[in-house]
């Protein structure tokens, strides 16, 4: 595991380092050959029951941690540190539909970041009015808007700077482009590729450029590493469930594009996500989803 983590030093935004303590608790005293279906199943049971870790976790979390173990073993084998590959058993799981926000929910979330909460809802669930109950967190509102309009990941949005630099993404207002990684950062499996700035976001960015120093999501002139407390406060004020997280904003942007009829390959390029994943997880949002199959079964057959 140490060898694997050393190879991730310049990809520190991923969750892999947080998986290691729990994996070591189960597999730390074993040899690689002892990693098998029985020991992997025992790990899932221990994690989901709370025997390993501070509290029980979902099976999907345990599966993700076993994926880290698998990646570590594969890297060691490819580097010649093992005489054979080791297969890591992982629980099967059906891909769940990604939580995304409606336009109304997105508006509520942004207003929540600005300190407003709904007064009430009508019979159709629409907000009847807002009341300001807290001070505005402008940096949270800026974070939400950028993520909603660009499908950029949580950490990458927080890392955006106004000036091109070596170690974080940047916003080029002249070229109307967002660079999701620095000039010296290598490409990773997170696919942090550039994207054009949408027309609706551009005026906001130009205004924020005059109001901030280093980047749009800064707080009190300082950059921040995580958008957790402020985002949670906005979510609560918006009266949205706990399944709404910063990553929900990426899901929302992708979903909106597909619902608008944008081709999957173009959505994949804009959101820096594989087209295969777009099809698997979001394809049902396309207006023409399964339309060819419907038409084929609707045709009259000649006798």
Domain that holds residue 74: 2-78
Sign, CA dihedral 250-9-232-196, equals negative
Please report the pLDDT score of residue 81 as a whole number.
Answer: 86
Global pTM reads 0.72
41 plus 113 within the same structural domain: no
112 found inside a domain: yes
120 and 63, same domain (yes or no) = no
Residues 222 and 280 in one domain: yes
Q: Please, what are the averages of pLDDT over each run of 10 residues along the chain (303 residues)? A: 64 70 91 92 94 88 91 88 90 75 95 95 87 95 97 92 93 95 76 90 97 92 82 96 92 93 92 88 71 61 54
Q: Is residue 96 part of a domain?
A: no
Q: Which residues contact 208 (CB under 8 A, 6 or more apart)?
A: 142, 216
Half-sphere exposure of 227 (CA within 13 A, CB side): 29
CA angle 235, 236, 240 (to 5 degrees): 60
Count of domains for the chain: 2
Task: Please name the residues in contact with 292: beta carbons below 8 A apart, sequence gap of 6 or more.
Answer: none
**pLDDT tens digits, one per residue of 77-119:** 888 888 899 999 998 866 567 889 999 999 999 999 999 999 9
Whole-number pLDDT of residue 221 = 82
Q: Are residues 202 and 61 in the same domain?
A: no
pLDDT at 123: 84
Residues 61 and 122 in one domain: no
Tokens of 40: 């992997």
153 and 267 assigned to the same domain: yes
d(CA 238, CA 107): 9
Has residue 28 been placed in a domain? yes
Summary mean pLDDT of the chain: 87
For 172, counting Cβ atoms within 10 Å of its Cβ (0-12 exposed, 13-18 middle, 19+ buried), the class is middle
Q: Are residues 155 and 271 in the same domain?
A: yes
- 127 and 223 in a single domain? The answer is yes
Do 57 and 116 share a domain, yes or no?
no
**31 and 180: one domain?**
no
In a domain, residue 86? The reply is no
Does residue 83 belong to any structural domain of this protein?
no
pLDDT of residue 8: 63
Distance (Å, rounded) from C-alpha 44 to C-alpha 137? 39
Q: Do 113 and 60 share a structural domain?
A: no
Residues 132 and 281 in one domain: yes
State residue 11's pLDDT score: 47
**CATH classification of the domain holding 205:** 1.10.443.10
The tokens of 250 are what?
């990426």
Is 170 among the domain residues?
Answer: yes
């Amino acid at each position: 595991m140490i060898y694997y983590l050393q190879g991730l030093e310049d990809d520190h935004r991923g969750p892999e380092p947080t998986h290691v303590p729990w994996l070591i608790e189960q597999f730390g005293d074993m040899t690689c050959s002892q990693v098998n279906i029985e020991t992997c199943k025992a790990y899932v049971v221990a994690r989901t029951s709370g025997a390993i870790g501070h509290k029980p976790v979902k099976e999907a979390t345990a599966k993700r941690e076993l994926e880290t173990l698998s990646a570590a073993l594969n890297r060691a084998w490819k580097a010649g540190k093992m005489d054979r590959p080791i297969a890591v058993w992982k629980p099967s799981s059906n891909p769940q539909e990604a939580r995304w926000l409606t336009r109304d929910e997105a508006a509520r979330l942004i207003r929540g970041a600005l300190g407003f909460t709904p007064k009430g809802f009508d019979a159709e669930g629409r907000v009847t009015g807002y009341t300001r109950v807290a001070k505005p967190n402008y940096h949270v509102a800026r974070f939400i808007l950028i993520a909603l309009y660009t499908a950029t990941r949580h950490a990458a949005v927080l890392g955006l700077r106004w000036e091109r630099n070596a170690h974080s993404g940047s916003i080029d207002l002249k070229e109307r482009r967002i660079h999701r990684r620095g000039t010296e950062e290598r490409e990773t499996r997170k696919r942090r590729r550039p994207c054009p700035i949408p027309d609706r976001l551009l005026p906001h960015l130009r205004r924020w450029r005059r109001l901030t120093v280093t980047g749009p999501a800064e707080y009190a002139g300082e950059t921040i590493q995580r958008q957790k407390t402020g985002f949670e406060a906005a979510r609560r004020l918006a009266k949205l469930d706990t399944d709404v997280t910063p990553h929900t904003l990426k899901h929302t942007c992708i979903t909106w594009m597909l619902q608008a009829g944008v081709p999957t390959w173009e959505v994949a390029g804009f959101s820096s996500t594989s087209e295969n994943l777009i099809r698997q997880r979001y394809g049902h949002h396309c207006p023409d989803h399964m339309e060819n199959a419907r038409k084929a079964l609707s045709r009259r057959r000649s006798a």
